[in-house]
Each structure stands twice: as structure tokens, then as C-alpha cells.
Amino acid sequence: MASAEKPAPPEVAAPPAACLRVAVLAGGRSSEHDVSLASAGAVREALIEAGHEAIWIEVGRDGVWRRDGRAISLTPGDGVEGADVVFGALHGPFGEDGTVQGMLETLGAAYVGAGVAASAVCMDKVLFKDVMAALGVPQVEYAGIAAARWEADPDGALEAVSALGLPVFVKPAHLGSSVGIARVTRAEQLPGALAVAFEHDELAIVEAAAAGIEVECGVLELPENSGLLASEPGEIVYDAEFYDYETKYTPGGMELLVPARIGSAVRERVHELALRTFRAVGCAGLARVDFFVDGEQVLVNELNTMPGFTPTSVYPKLLAASGVSYPELVDRLCRLGIARHAGGGARRN
């Protein structure tokens, strides 16, 4: 079962909720453009199923926002195309990293999900882990390597990484969807892995390998400031060497087991850390928190402020297993965004 901070109030009859005009942002400038299109398409369908009007706005790889194929212009303080709320189903840089959130703040638009600061912190894997380390949250050992540092002092960078042992994982610091990741088992492989990461980002993160299984937990705000819901944890199962892009997005490449094969005490620990991490970075609306679980040990890996949003993506599946259907989930997130905007909360996150 899912875990909530407060018991849900008894159900009472309520009038039908008003129809919303929702601007759905799709695509984006990052390498996750196609993943975003799939997420946004599913969100649009769910909004229509829930009785809302969906305004499709596609953000091109060139950064131009288009509606019905025509570029649109936006005026500060004037919102987005007359929408009540914006659902930014964008992944990666220029979508999930605080840049679009800052633009929406300037436009005076209500929007789904984390605000500027939380989005920026969680998109930067090194900064996120630095914050978790400062708060004493258990996680794998890591080192951040900037491209400029690597060029100026490769021996010093290698020395910093050597303390992590082998194998290690090398990743671009600001990308999701397992793009640009390499598993390094021999020291001579490290320069090549860093070179691949630097093709995507000027900052790379090198992480020590973690034993055990990968477990993910969805977090969802409850209506009317009634707390947070931590979903039933799910276990990621795959046959590949590690959870790379092909494994994540190839049909049949991975299997999500809900509930995860963990004991009740570990399950409660996952819930505790998911909620603690969500609060620590000032998230809003939703997040997916990823873990490594080895026996009784639970380590936080990362927090995704806008996880994949197709009905077959992990986050919607976790919430569905916890009693929140996909149309209900999309509807709730839009209404949370509107309520937060009305209270000025978006600017604080």
C-alpha cells in the first residue's frame, strides 16, 4: 500500500469539477525531445478523458514555441495562450532545469510541478548529491568532474575518481533518460567515458557502483495541503549490464515489479527517504525518487521532478498501483499547480 502523511478525509459527494484549459508543453531543446513528445501526448489524451481542454504547444529543437505549427509570442504577465495552467511535459535541460519554470513565473502562469530552484537543483546531479550529502542523506560515493578541470589537470581528476574504486558509472550531470552513461570497469576506460559525457554536458558525475536492486518511489502532493503520498515502491528488473537508454525505452527491455521485493521495514525506509528528499529540495506537485536497495541498506540515487509520463512510464504505474488513476493524476497535478500559483507558492520553490 502507499504511504501518506495524513489519513484521507472521508469521501463526500461533490459537484463536478470545472473544465480547465491546460497548455501542454511538448518536445523541447534537449536530447530527450522525443521522450517528451510521448509524455506530452499521453498527458493530452488523459486531460481530454478527464473533461479538460488541452492546448498543444510544441517546443522545437530550435527552442521556438509553436501552436498549430505557428510560432507564438509570449508577454510577461499575460500567461500562456489563455490557459488556466501549464503542464510542462518537458525532460532534461531547457525544460526540467528551472529555465522554463522561470519563464512561466515571469509570464504569471500557473504550472505543474517544481519551481525554479528545486528544478535547477535536481537537474544538476552533482549539486543534488552535494545537498543530500550536507543533509546526511545516505547515497553512493561520487565525484563531479568539469570538462575544464579535465583538460587542465587530468591527473588530478583521475586521482579524485580513483578513490571511488571500480566499477564506476560516468554520466552527464544535467541529463536524464540514461543518455550518455557509461559503465567503467577498467581505469583506462575512464577518459573515453568522460569524453562521451562531455559531448552532452560540461560537467560529468562519476558514481561508485551500488550493489542490490533499483527501486523507485513516486511522491504526489495531496489536495488542500493535506500532506504527501509516497507510492508503493516498484523494482526495476532488467537483463542488461546496467539501466541504460536502450534498456529503459526498448519494449521488453525492463520490467517494473510493483510491489518491489523488499521487506516492510525497508519499504518504510524508502517512503521516509522519498518524502525527506522531496521536502529537502523544495519540490512541489510530484517527483520520482530513485534508490539502490541492498538488503536493509537504502541509498538515494536521484530525484526526477518531471518523470516520464506515458501510461506505461514508471511514475504513473506507481501511482496507479497506489490507487490514483492516470486521468485522476493529471487532473490533480493541474489543480495543485493552480492552487499553488494562487497562493504564491511557486515562487518559493
| Domains of the chain, earliest start first | 21-113 (3.40.50.20), 141-208 (3.30.1490.20)
Give the pLDDT means over successive 10-residue stretches in the chain (349 positions): 54 61 96 92 97 98 97 97 98 94 98 98 97 97 96 93 94 78 93 94 95 96 91 88 56 83 98 98 97 97 94 92 96 97 67
**Among the options 304, 313, 322, 349, which is catalytic?**
304
**Among the options 249, 276, 328, 345, which is catalytic?**
249
Sign of dihedral through CA atoms 328, 329, 330, 336? positive
Q: What is the pTM of this model?
A: 0.89
**Among the options 180, 308, 322, 340, which is catalytic?**
308
Residue 188 known to be catalytic = no
**Among the options 44, 288, 332, 340, which is catalytic?**
288
Residue 288 known to be catalytic = yes
The pLDDT of residue 314: 94
Q: CA–CA separation, 269 vs 204, rounded Å? A: 29
Q: CA–CA separation, 327 vs 337, rounded Å? A: 16
The pLDDT of residue 7: 46
- The single-letter code of the amino acid at 330 is V
Residue 249 known to be catalytic = yes
**Among the options 3, 30, 39, 177, which is catalytic?**
177
**Among the options 3, 28, 32, 92, which is catalytic?**
32
For residue 28, is it left (φ>0), alpha (ψ between -120 and 50) or beta? Answer: left
Q: CA–CA separation, 201 vs 148, rounded Å? A: 11
Q: CA–CA separation, 23 vs 226, rounded Å? A: 26
Residue 302 known to be catalytic = yes
The pLDDT of residue 176: 66
Q: CA–CA separation, 214 vs 238, rounded Å? A: 10
Residue 32 known to be catalytic = yes
Q: CA–CA separation, 96 vs 118, rounded Å? A: 10
Residue 177 known to be catalytic = yes
Q: CA–CA separation, 168 vs 145, rounded Å? A: 13
Q: Which grid coordinates are listed for 317?
A: 504505474
The pLDDT of residue 303: 97
Beta 213-221 vs 286-294: how paired, if at all? antiparallel
Q: Which of 171, 175, 173, 172 is nearest to 130 (CA)?
A: 173
